[in-house]
Amino acid sequence: MPRPQKHVFICTQNRPQGHPRGSCAANGSAEVINEFINQIQNRNLFDKIALTNTGCLGPCTLGPSVLVYPEGVLYARISKDDVTTIIDQHLLGGEVVEQLQASSEIW
């Protein structure tokens, strides 16, 4: 298996309803990871992009959280509609999507 150029971690943490921290699962992370999976599969990007679902990354109320390495860029409040932009602009194009990036106070 070739080493991927980018590794995307998507928080899919769930918590009981009413939990004070909320969760990325409650904010729609399943839709986000499914969109990443579909696009990576349909565009045959397996050699370039690795995808891992994770537990809590920290900023729960700003989820779904998506973390991209090797840069260590955290994206906040991501919806499935943002996935194409993240893939095209950052993962393939090498430019951080600044309007989706978590603020510097958060990360």
- Give yes or no for a contact between 50 and 58, defined as CB atoms under 8 angstroms apart: no
CA distance 21 to 72: 23
Q: How many residues does the chain have?
A: 107
Q: Least distance in Å: CB of 65 to ligand FES?
A: 4
Helix/strand/coil for 49: strand
Pick the closer one to ligand FES by CB: 15 or 48.
Answer: 15
Site string for ligand FES, 78-107 (x = CB under 6 A): ------------------------------
Site string for ligand FES, 42-81 (x = CB under 6 A): --------------xxxxx--x-x----------------
Token pair for residue 51?
A: 């995808």
Q: Least distance in Å: CB of 97 to ligand FES?
A: 18
Enumerate the β-bridge partners of residue 22: none
- State how beta strands 6-11 and 49-54 pair: parallel
Pick the closer one to ligand FES by CB: 60 or 68.
Answer: 60
Q: Is 8 in the site for ligand FES (CB under 6 A)?
A: no
